Amino acid sequence: MAYVEDVEKIIDKIKNNRPHWKLSGRRKNHLTITQLGSDTEDIFDEVYQNISVANYSSGPLQDNHIPPVDGDIWIFGLRLYGENPEGLNCYLKFQDKPNGLILWISLHEQEYPLDFPYSS
C-alpha cells in the first residue's frame, strides 16, 4: 500500500500527462464506455475531474507479464456516469509507463469489491 503522499503524486502525474492517456483495446473496457453512453475522451475527462486519493485501492504494483513491462501499475475505483444517470462503479487500472504514456489497462464495470484505505 502506498502512502497518501505517493497517491497524491501519482494522481498529479497522470493529470499532468492527460494528453498521453490511452485506453487498452480490451472488449470489456469498450462495453463499459458504451454502457455509459459516452466516448473514451469524455470518460477520460470524467476520470480526470473526479479521481482522488479516496478512490485509491492499491499500487504501485509490478507488471506480471513475462518479461515484465516497465512501469508501475495502480488500481483505483470510481463511480462513472458518462450519459448514464445511474452510473457504474468502475475498476480503473493504469500503468505509468517510463515514456510518459498512461495506459488504462482496465476501465470497466467493477466485478469484485475493492478496498479503499483512504476513503473516509
The 10 Å Cβ neighbour count of residue 63 is: 15
CATH code of the domain in which 33 resides: 3.30.2310.40
Residue 20 lies in a domain: yes
Cell 480490451 appears where? 26
Instruction: Decide if 118 is inside a domain.
Output: no
Q: How far is residue 62's CA from residue 74's CA, in Å, rounded to a whole number?
A: 9
Task: Tell whether 100 is covered by a domain.
Answer: yes
pLDDT at position 101:
95
Q: Residue 78's domain spans which residues? A: 4-109
Answer yes or no: are the C-beta atoms of 17 and 102 closer than 8 Å. yes
* 53 occurs within a structural domain: yes
Residue 117 lies in a domain: no
pLDDT tens sequence across 62-108:
877 777 778 999 999 999 999 988 999 999 999 999 999 999 999 99
- In 3D space, the residue among 24, 4, 42, 43 whose CA is nearest the CA of residue 104 turns out to be 24
Query: What is the number of domains present in the chain?
Result: 1
**What torsion do the CA atoms of 12, 83, 58, 106 make, to the nearest 10 degrees?**
-100
Residue 114 lies in a domain: no
